[in-house]
Structure 1
Amino acid sequence: FALTPGFEGAKQPSGSKPAEENGVWMAPFIMAPINTKNVHRSNLLLNHPYGKDFTYSEMMMTGPGEQGEKIARAVAADASLMGEDAPKPGEGPTKEERDTGFYDILFLGETARGEKIRTHCKGDRDPGYGSTSKMIAESAICLVRDRKDAAGGIWTPAAAMGRALLKRLEANAGVSFGRE
């Protein structure tokens, strides 16, 4: 809750664990330390639409059974993106890998009433390069054209631009959102 001064919220989930709903093992997602803080900041800035007891984590599915567990534990213990083993400037996917990359993210949720919710976000380019650059461009256009009234400060995209940005991403950036 570093980005939510004065608000602590509920204890958050962490670690590598089996996902009971899907029968698969999961491991921590590499971007979770950044993304989770921004999700909680959005919740705070928007006056807690998800509730003050909202919990949020990001994991990646590694598969079922012993093989899924083995992969989950290996990913959870991997520190290769830190220190000397970290990628060097200029290293990354090839142009072909960026152009043919894609992502399909599944969000699993449960309301305070116990209702299970499944939503997704899909993108038509590599998430670290191709899709991110389109998201940045659409965010800038959204702020200039659609949210001229946005106040200054340290906002998250969700809090500053909300549905206006979602519409732009779907129309112009090869990103789609939906409920399953």
Structure 2
Amino acid sequence: MTEHDIVVYGASGFVGVLVARHLAEHSPDGLRIALAGRSESKLEAVKRRLGVDWPILVADAGDAEAVAQVAQATRVLVTTVGPYAKYGKPLVDACAKAGTDYLDLTGEVLFARQSIDDNHEVARGTGARIVHSCGFDSIPSDLGVHVVNEAVRADGAGELTDTAMVVTSFRGGVSGGTIDSLRHQLDTIKRDPAKRRIAASPYSLSPDRAAEPDLGRQSDVATVRGDRVHPSLRGTLAPFFMASYNTRVVRRTNALRGFAYGRGFRYRELMSVGASPLLSPVVANGVKVGFGALVAGLMLPPTRYVIDRVLPKPGEGPSSEEGHFTCDVFARTTTGAHYTARFRAHSDPGYGGTAIMLGESALALAVDRPEGEGGVLTPATALGDALVERLRATGIEISTRGPRADSRTRPETEAA
């Protein structure tokens, strides 16, 4: 029998504290939780801040033997320590071998691909569920499409075809950890053309890329007229900055489920920048150019030095946890039906909202643990409806609407 039910690794970091606080406030009595990281004094300070008497486990992320002991001591391990390509491999490897369920917040394609290659079959053998991307990346995307598909199946309305998630409302801080992960991945693909090709592939996280259908070019940086996504949308939509990762997670879910969404399922992610027919195209194209300029700037040493002086540093968080986000999924089916889903939370997407999603993912595994096999999975394939219900119980709205779909709320487009 393991010593702990949940271990939060990186619990003294900004997001780690928020996750630990969520668990302290929402865990059932008797659940055995521990805090882990490399600094005992910082972890003790977190205990005092939260008013809990949880055990402390000290282990440096680079010490394979130490993190293996942490993995063996718990049923579920949650880690907030990134960039994951730099710090995460010993821990995820150890969990796969130990049969320990693992959750993280990565948005790094190359790390997730390496984890799939190294750990999927190992975790299937041990029963470990390795679940990457359990925060704002990529739970709204993955669960949004999941609930749409459930509604379509319940109505017998065919399979999904053109599907898009549109971020229709967003307010929140930019994570220093996210920026650092982007830097690390850009450095890697600059040195290694093979990894550049992996990162660019729309099916880079698929279990069998050769088995994926040929659906033509699928761009993550295009601007699109709103009415081409759904009749209710106005203006021009901009690329969403995490589309290049989230879309690959959703496609992996479809493939892991035997293409349950359909072999003609096309998925993209966009962002509303207003409904004005004159202004929104300008803003949308500005977002597209600006993101390209940021990526190019971070790849060149002189411009990176300048950019790094203004971007948030790793471990830095916002001065306020206030924020909100609304992600609306618009789907068409093979029968010609239109379905929508909404995923909305009244909390900062990268911090408070992510802490709720990661904390509830851990509780879903530790308390509910849906039936299923081990492996390197996705939030939808590992947790599915169990996580949907848990998130609804926290006040996050997850709703659907279709020709005959039961719904709690009709999604309405909001200006960003």
In structure 2, the residue matched to 1:152 is 374
In structure 1, the residue matched to 2:313 is 88
Change (3 A) 1:91 1:13: same
Query: Structure 2 CA distance, aligned partners of 1:162 and 1:41?
Result: 14
1:75 to 287, 297, 303: 287
Query: Structure 2 CA distance, aligned partners of 1:128 and 1:81?
Result: 19
In structure 2, the residue matched to 1:126 is 348
1:3 to 198, 205, 208: 205
Whether contact under 8 Å (1:108, 1:119) holds in the other structure is yes
Change (3 A) 1:61 1:135: same
Deviation larger for 112-121 or 78-87: 78-87
Q: How far off is 1:45 after superposition?
A: 1.1
Q: How far off is 1:8 after superposition?
A: 2.5
In structure 2, the residue matched to 1:39 is 250
Deviation larger for 153-162 or 78-87: 78-87
Query: Structure 2 CA distance, aligned partners of 1:137 and 1:88?
Result: 24
Whether contact under 8 Å (2:240, 2:269) holds in the other structure is yes
1:16 to 206, 223, 231: 223
Q: How far off is 1:58 after superposition?
A: 0.4
In structure 1, the residue matched to 2:4 is none
Query: Structure 2 CA distance, aligned partners of 1:81 and 1:135?
Result: 28
Q: Which runs of 5+ in 1 are unaligned?
A: none
Q: How far off is 1:19 after superposition?
A: 1.4
Residue type of the alignment partner of 2:259: H
Deviation larger for 65-74 or 103-112: 103-112
In structure 2, the residue matched to 1:175 is 396
**What do you get for the CA RMSD once the two structures are aligned?**
1.8
Q: How far off is 1:151 after superposition?
A: 2.4
Whether contact under 8 Å (1:16, 1:27) holds in the other structure is yes
Query: Structure 1 CA distance, aligned partners of 2:336 and 2:371?
Result: 37
Q: Where in structure 1 do 4 or more consecutive aligned residues deviate above 6 Å?
A: none
Asked if 1:28 is matched to 2:239, the reply is yes
**Could you tell me the TM-score, scaled by structure 1's length?**
0.89
Deviation larger for 156-165 or 112-121: 112-121
Change (3 A) 1:110 1:13: farther
Whether contact under 8 Å (1:25, 1:68) holds in the other structure is yes
Whether contact under 8 Å (2:243, 2:269) holds in the other structure is yes
Whether contact under 8 Å (1:81, 1:87) holds in the other structure is no
In structure 2, the residue matched to 1:114 is 336
Query: Structure 2 CA distance, aligned partners of 1:55 and 1:94?
Result: 39
Q: How far off is 1:90 after superposition?
A: 3.7
Whether contact under 8 Å (2:324, 2:345) holds in the other structure is yes
Secondary structure at 1:57 match in 2: strand
CA-to-aligned-CA distance 1:73-120 (integer Å, 9 cap, x gap)? 00011136541235422444222xx2x211111111111111111221
Asked if 1:50 is matched to 2:261, the reply is yes
Whether contact under 8 Å (1:41, 1:156) holds in the other structure is yes
**Could you tell me the TM-score, scaled by structure 2's length?**
0.40
Query: Structure 2 CA distance, aligned partners of 1:166 and 1:93?
Result: 27
Change (3 A) 1:121 1:156: same
| Identity %, equivalent residues | 34
Asked if 1:103 is matched to 2:329, the reply is no
Query: Structure 1 CA distance, aligned partners of 2:334 and 2:317?
Result: 41
Query: Structure 2 CA distance, aligned partners of 1:94 and 1:133?
Result: 16
Query: Structure 2 CA distance, aligned partners of 1:28 and 1:59?
Result: 5
